[in-house]
Amino acid sequence: MPTPTDIPEPWNPAQATERIRSIAAGEFAISYTQHALDQIADRDLIIGDVIYLLKNGFVYERPEKPARTSDWKYQMQCRTPNSGQREVRVVVIPDWRTKALTLVTVMWTDEPRHAG
């Protein structure tokens, strides 16, 4: 039976959900782009909402590979304590080896997606 480190990326949605939750459940490093911090503030959310989402959310789609790095981006979503009845989606780049998560952006799931 392979260990989580034996499964190379890209992960399927179930694998990504399990690994991102696992990273967020322990000691981990988290970094935010300025865009993500702005999006959190614009939606009247707090960092605790993002942590809650990373511990409890689900990845439903296959990942995207950023053009400028070798890292994979995953979209994870769920309702959070301060989101009312709306679901929040984050785009996150996990690093299983170093137990780190980089938050790229935050949005409502019912917002239209923009390219770019």
Q: Residue 5 pLDDT > 70, yes or no? A: no
Q: Which residues contact 17 (CB under 8 A, 6 or more apart)?
A: 57, 58, 59, 76
- Give a yes or no: residue 63 inside a domain: yes
Residue 87 maps to which CATH number? 3.30.2310
Q: How many domains does the chain have?
A: 1
Cα 29 to Cα 46, 81, 96, 100, distances in angstroms: 17, 22, 11, 5
In the beta sheet, which residues pair with residue 105? Answer: 91
101 band by pLDDT with thresholds 50, 70 and 90: very high
Boundaries of domain holding 83: 29-108
- Give a yes or no: residue 53 inside a domain: yes
- Give a yes or no: residue 15 inside a domain: no
Whether the predicted model's global pTM rises above the 0.85 cut: yes
- Give a yes or no: residue 97 inside a domain: yes
Contact 28, 99 (CB under 8 A): yes
Cα 85 to Cα 29, 38, 96, distances in angstroms: 29, 21, 31
pLDDT digits (tens, 9 = 90+) for 46-60: 999 999 999 999 999
- Give a yes or no: residue 1 inside a domain: no
Q: What pLDDT sits at residue 1?
A: 44
- Give a yes or no: residue 20 inside a domain: no
- Give a yes or no: residue 116 inside a domain: no
